[in-house]
Structure 1
Amino acid sequence: MTNVTLGDILRNNARWYANRPAVICDGQSLTHAEFLKRANRLASGLGRLGVRHQDRVCVLAQNCIEYLEAYAAAELSGLILATVNYRLAVPEMAYIIGDAAPRVLIFEAAYADHVQAMRDKLDPGMRYVVIGEGPDWALPYETVVADGSPDGEHWQVSSDDIAYLLYTSGTTGRPKGCMLGQTNQVASAAMTSFHMRCAGEDRTLLVMPLYHVGAKNIQLAQHWAGGTVHLARSFRPAEALATIARERITVGHLAPTMVQMLLDEPGFADHDLSSLRMILYSAAPMPLPLLRDGLQRIGPVFAQIYGQTEGLGTILPIDLHRPDGDVDDLRRLASVGHPYQGARMRVVDENDIELGVGQPGELCVQSPTVMRGYWNNAPATLETLRGGWLHTGDIAEIDAEGYIHLRDRKKDVIISGGENIYSREVEAAIAEHPAVADVAVVGAADPKWGEAVTAFVLSRSPTLTEAEIIAHSRTLIAGYKSPRRVIFVEDMPRLPSGKINKLALRADLAGRVGHRPEPRPPKRGRQQR
């Protein structure tokens, strides 16, 4: 597959499965032939706006057919599609767009005010294209499509080209753009499709946002087999249940918290979910009580996948989900599975020396799905890809059978509702409040969200409140990253090095489960960091 490009998948599907639906969303439907034609038109239309090979095109939108068309246009023409998380605050969006330096920003009309607020911070030569009715300073999306050729252009696309630029937060708090190449994404499509056992008659429901690598990877896997993607604008439990029953969905991709919300939805039992053969869950492990409930009420359909934007990882197949099995079954169930076929994994110590069975260390990956590097960030690239291995930042053990057991997150990532939230980024936002002397952020176990962002705050003011901290943080970072709980403390526990001891804070938090004590009187003055 070394010379195969993503455009080949689109062209093959349009030829082999011309009249089969490719994507259905919000009342719209395109066959594979129609999908190719519109993607060709869009790529050609963007070219007539001056966009050239390996130029970036950013997309700021919720899930919609136009989003997938933009992806496909890049896949066909050798443009680089860069995504922008629509849930971010305007300064965060402006940083990503500025870093990607696109020639064109495609945005939904609903985000026109956001774009207007950052236009003076962006390249004055950038062109704007709006999906829906938007401002007069943006070209209508359909005009750009209509101006393009349905047969495309004579693009010189190489398997060595970068296909996507997907941004993921780093430990420094600044997002990093993962350069995902054509070859990387063809391998992702083939490997995931194999483990999903995709077929042309499959109908896959996507509810995860398309700025996430997970949603895009599942879409590619389904289209690798020429099947149909049902794209939800966003996740709504009642709507998801109705779609599964009405459209006879065969595959779904959900975070565990979404599975819980489906099971908790009133009228759950009124929907026929018998068409489902697989629910892929990711972003966090499935709690055992939830898994048992799901298996009983939906059936033996659950499979777990693990990975990150930088590269794919593991699969725990359906047949290994045995919560009532023997000790070996439970050991495997506590893992995130074994590596994808074609991938290698190992754990290493702080000197990158490989560790043995059952020894915890940093999980490293070699795979054709691993990114090319970080955009405009050579130091982070060299550090993360040193020695020819992707260093994931996750602490794991590998057992004697080769199953991967995650033990901790080296980068202090908090996984809440399927979103990765980095504690340092939240800490930096809270620390900007003038009454905050010190802050540390950790994840607290939460039955609905998996983890809830919790901030320990040392305050300079006796009147500072939880509500003020949350409101302040929301002006700098996305609402979902802001703390759900603030605990005021008199002092911060510290390690001998002077760093805050987050293990002690997590232990403190565990002792507070089930009650919310009154804030402690704040200690005056800043603590030495």
Structure 2
Amino acid sequence: MSSKDAAGMTAMSKRVMNLSGFLAQTARRLPEETGFVWGEKSWSWSALQRRVDAMAAALHSEFGVVKGDRILIQSQNCNQMFESMFACFQLGAVWVPANFRQTPDEVAYLAKASGAKGMICGHLFPDHAAASRDMNPGLAFVIAIGKADFGDDYDDIVARFDGAKVATASVDHDDPCWFFFTSGTTGRPKAAVLTHGQMAFVITNHLCDLMPGTTEKDASLVVAPLSHGAGIHQLTQVARGSKTILLPTEKFDVAEAWRLVETWRVTNMFTVPTILKMLTEHPSVHERDHSSLRYVIYAGAPMYRSDQIHALKTLGPVLVQYFGLGEVTGNITVLPPAYHTTQDGPDARIGTCGFARTGMQIAIQDDTGQEVKPGETGEICVIGPAVFAGYYDNPDANAKAFRDGWFRTGDLGHMDEAGFVYITGRASDMYISGGSNVYPREIEEKILTHPDISEAAVLGIPDPVWGEVGLAVCVARSGSAPDGEAVMAWLNGKMARYKLPKRFIFWPDMPKSAYGKIAKKLIREELIRRGELDS
């Protein structure tokens, strides 16, 4: 084969299916089957496709959206948010969902960092739309989900363009489809670039490792925001024609969740340990038939062993755990139902997050990038088709995240002889509260804008409900005596509520290293010495 032929084959091999094809294929195969349910409303697959076609046509012809444009989404779970994903994909545009619980300023930063051309925003978030416009002059339009003063109504636009179609954009493997916002140790949000080719692998991998045998006979209950892992999970359902069932209200209602499981014969759901604990400890779990469940998938944080045992005894052998970051789209390890047990013993592998996902390779590496021996602690690193394309417009972050082709997770752990991974700590100070990553420096910077506080350090500490919560150790400015509850009230509204520390402690000075830096290791040791933190 000549080099010219090889180059031609390489060029051809980059072309992949546009991810919107998953919906198009399912709508063609199962046009009248129910695809999406929200409250009293439901949509067939063909109806969903028709609405997506209409919105894609409107975005292109009325708002000028073309391949590569970024569209910011600020919304609670709803059918319009779900549809907007496929409308963006169809045009080759990039879907940029925000965590709807973030403050207006936080979302405005995402608009600026992503270079968003437009925004689709729930009608309950006028301040988010205004802040995004103010911070990002390049934001050309805002579409409102529901009636609002800040933009045309999404459903009115769909009705106006009903029946219209636009050609599906041709895409290559590395063409971006989704900016998955995550953060590093600095706490500044970074856009992890997910691509059409990468995500096709992720969806296949989810079907292989997390919920094998999924078909159009299945149904999935959504109990987490579609902006992150739950959105990826629902893409998997679309690929197989499984129904997606949304909770009817924003507030998490456990009794309603179990009613929907019974009514729609739900077979799988994606959740986090905090929510799984709530689901299995609520009395309604014993009042409703949940025998249809085959896979209850949890991720995002460690699960206490006692909670794991209780969930297994309540639901049966249906638990699936995985470990993964947004940058690897959840695809690092899996612990299938067969490896979950209520019995402690030498074969139970208590505390493992599972073994390598199909097509992925894990190495536990030391500081030089050398793989350590089984049982030795190091940084969990991974390679494979699920690893993201890098951070958008952030070469410094990319340089730190990759070493010799390996993505560095920042999590510490070890691997046993059989390849099972155990997470033992974090290389960064990041902690996980209720399934959400919390980055202390971002919070510390906010605390330090308080006029009465001169130094601050935030640490994650164990919590029986949320897994971990923030504890803030502060030093007051000379002559002031701030109150912890007052500081917390002052911070409220300046950041998402899940980031707010749950405790404030004031010391006269802060432990520091020999280099004059605030040392959190010393702070934690001092907290234990003072009896303010259990060892």
User: TM-score, structure 1 length as denominator?
Assistant: 0.92
The verdict on how the C-alpha distance between 1:399 and 1:504 changes in structure 2, with shifts beyond 3 A counting, is same
Shift of 1:208: 0.9
- 2:465 is paired with a residue whose SS is coil
Corresponding position: 1:238 with 2:255: yes
Partners of 2:184 and 2:190 within 8 A in 1: yes
1:453 to 462, 470, 475: 470
Matched, 1:200 2:216: yes
Distance in 1, matches of 2:365 and 2:284, equals 48
Aligned to 1:435: 452
- Separation of aligned partners in 1, 2:530 and 2:39: 44
| Deviation for aligned residue 1:404 | 1.1
Given that residues 101 and 123 in structure 1 are in contact (C-alpha distance below 8 angstroms), is that contact kept between their aligned partners in structure 2? no
Moved more, 142-151 or 270-279: 142-151
Match of residue 359, structure 2, among 328, 335, 342: 342
In structure 2, C-alpha distance between the alignment counterparts of 1:512 and 1:28, rounded to whole Å:
56
Once residues 260 and 130 of structure 2 are traced to their aligned partners in structure 1, the CA distance between those partners, rounded to angstroms, is 35
Equivalent position SS for 1:373: coil
Quote how far apart the aligned CAs of 1:386 are.
3.2
Cα deviation 1:265-323 (Å, max 9, x = unaligned): 24432122211111111111211111111111221111101111100211111110113
| Matching residue of 1:421 | 438
Aligned partner of 1:524 in structure 2 is none
2-structure distance, mates of 1:509, 1:209? 35
Matched letter for residue 226 of structure 1: G
Counterpart code for 1:162: P
Question: How far apart, in 1, do the equivalents of 2:523 and 2:404 lie?
Answer: 35
- Whether the 8 Å contact between 2:60 and 2:91 is mirrored in structure 1 is no
1:168 is aligned with what amino acid?
T
Give the alignment of 1:104-503 within 5 angstroms. 104-123=118-137, 126-135=140-149, 137-148=150-161, 150=163, 152-160=165-173, 161-195=175-209, 196-197=211-212, 198-212=214-228, 214-232=229-247, 233-234=249-250, 235-311=252-328, 312-329=331-348, 331=349, 333-460=350-477, 461-503=479-521
CA contact (8 A) 1:184 1:371 kept: yes
Distance 1:410 1:515, change over 3 A: closer
Q: Deviations over 1:352-392 (max 9, x none)?
A: 22222122111111121111111121211222133212111
Aligned counterpart, 2:116: 102
Letter in 2 for 1:394: D
Contact 1:444/1:509 (8 A) holds in 2: no
Alpha-carbon distance change, 267 to 10 in structure 1, aligned in 2, over 3 angstroms = closer
Over residues 168-215 of structure 1, what are the superposed CA-to-partner deviations in whole Å (9 max), with x where a residue is unaligned? 122112100111000111111100011111222111111111111x11
Structure 2 distance, partners of 1:151, 1:334, is 53
Separation of aligned partners in 1, 2:525 and 2:434: 23
2-side partners of 1:285 and 1:458: how far apart? 32
SS of alignment partner, residue 241 of structure 1: helix
Q: In 2, are the aligned partners of 1:45 and 1:149 still within 8 Å (CA)?
A: no
- Report the CA distance between 1:420 and its aligned residue: 0.8
Counterparts of 1:75-86 in structure 2, within 5 Å, are 75-86=89-100
Provide, for residues 429-462 of structure 1, a one-character-per-residue CA deviation record: whole Å limited to 9, x for no partner.
1111121121111111111111111111111255
Whole-Å separation in 1 of the counterparts to 2:464 and 2:17: 44
Amino acid at match of 2:503: R
Q: CA deviation at 1:509?
A: 4.4
Matched AA of 1:25: W
**Aligned match of 1:53:** 67
**Gapped runs of 5+ residues in structure 2?**
1-12
Cα distance per residue 1:375-428 (max 9 Å; x no partner): 121211222133212111111211111111111111211111111111111111
Farther-moved stretch of structure 1 (118-127 vs 411-420): 118-127
Query: For the structure 1 residues 344 and 150, does the alpha-carbon distance in structure 2 shift closer, same or farther, using more than 3 Å as the test?
Result: farther
Q: Distance in 2 between matches of 1:94 and 1:32?
A: 34
Aligned-partner SS, 1:442: strand
Amino acid at match of 1:229: T
Mapped to 1, the partners of 2:220 and 2:77 lie a distance apart of 15
Comparing 353-362 with 507-516, greater Cα deviation is found at: 507-516
Match of residue 520 from structure 1: none
Mean CA deviation greater in 493-502 or 257-266: 493-502
Which segment is superposed worse, 320-329 or 417-426? 320-329
1:84 touches 1:97 (CA, 8 Å); kept in 2? Answer: no
Q: Please tell me whether the aligned partners of residues 426 and 473 of structure 1 are also in contact (alpha carbons under 8 angstroms).
A: no
What is the number of residues matched between the two proteins?
512
2: CA distance between counterparts of 1:513 and 1:293? 31
Aligned identity (percent) is 31
C-alpha separation in 1, matches of 2:371 and 2:503: 39
Q: Structure 1 residues 400 and 124 mapped into 2: Cα distance closer, same or farther (>3 Å)?
A: closer
After TM superposition, the structure 1 stretch with the greater mean CA deviation from structure 2, 226-235 or 441-450, is 226-235
TM-score, length basis structure 2: 0.91
Q: Is the 8 A contact 1:44 1:149 kept in 2?
A: no
Is the partner of 2:324 in helix, strand or coil? strand
**d(CA) in 2 for partners of 1:267 and 1:383?**
47
Q: Residue type matched to 2:168 in 1? A: W
Does structure 2 retain, via aligned residues, the 8 Å contact 1:45–1:146? no
User: Alpha carbons of 1:72 and 1:156: their partners in 2 closer, same or farther (altered >3 Å)?
Assistant: closer
Which consecutive unaligned segments of at least 5 residues does structure 1 have? 517-529
Distance 2:437 2:311 in 1: 24
Q: Deviations over 1:29-71 (max 9, x none)?
A: 1222221221111111100111111111111000001011000
Which amino acid is 1:262 matched to?
Answer: L
Which residue of 2 is the match for residue 40 of structure 1? Answer: 53
Partner of 1:110, secondary structure, is coil
